[in-house]
Structures are given as structure tokens and as C-alpha cells.
Amino acid sequence: MLDQKLGQKEIAIGIATLDSPIEFGNNENDPVKYVFCLSAIDNNSHLRAMSELVELLEEDEFFKVLDSAKEAKEIIDFIKTHEL
């Protein structure tokens, strides 16, 4: 069980686009260029955020935005326009 007093106060996502993609030894997924971190406030509420992230990952346009964005706001704006 998560200790909510010590942890996150709201659901958050971190996104990193790596300048130099990393090989992990998985032929299907290498090289890894994008890293996503999700912080949860309890055992269930983050599941919707994960589901929405999966939907974004199915859109080629999302990766174009990740590659071309000069500021985080560009990615945030894209995500906001694609919220369910």
C-alpha cells in the first residue's frame, strides 16, 4: 500500500526525449528514444492516465510533436487537445 503522506499529491507524468537513443537488447523496442514516468496517488486513479497515454502512443502525430517541440508547453498543448 502506498503511503500517501509521503508521496505524490496528484497524478503526474514525466516525458523525456533522448538525444541519443539507448539500446536495451530488445529487437522489437530498440532503440529507446522516449521515456515516460507516471506518478500515482493511490493504487487505481492512475489507470486512466495510463490508458490515455497508450492512446497517445498510437498516434504518429504525438511522436512528431515529441521530436519537434522546443518547449514543454507544445507537448502539454498537444496532450490537452487529445484528452478523452
Q: What is the pLDDT of residues 39-53, one digit of tens each?
A: 888 888 788 888 989
| Contacts of 37-41 spanning 24+ positions with Cβ under 8 A | 37/13, 38/11, 38/12, 38/13, 38/14, 39/7, 39/8, 39/11, 39/12, 39/13, 39/14, 40/2, 40/8, 40/11, 41/2, 41/4, 41/7, 41/8, 41/9, 41/10, 41/11
pLDDT at 5: 61
pLDDT at 75: 94
> Which pTM was predicted?
0.76
* Per-residue pLDDT tens digits for 21-75: 999 999 999 999 999 998 888 888 788 888 989 999 999 999 999 999 999 999 9
pLDDT at 84: 58
12-81 under CATH 1.10.490.10, yes or no? no
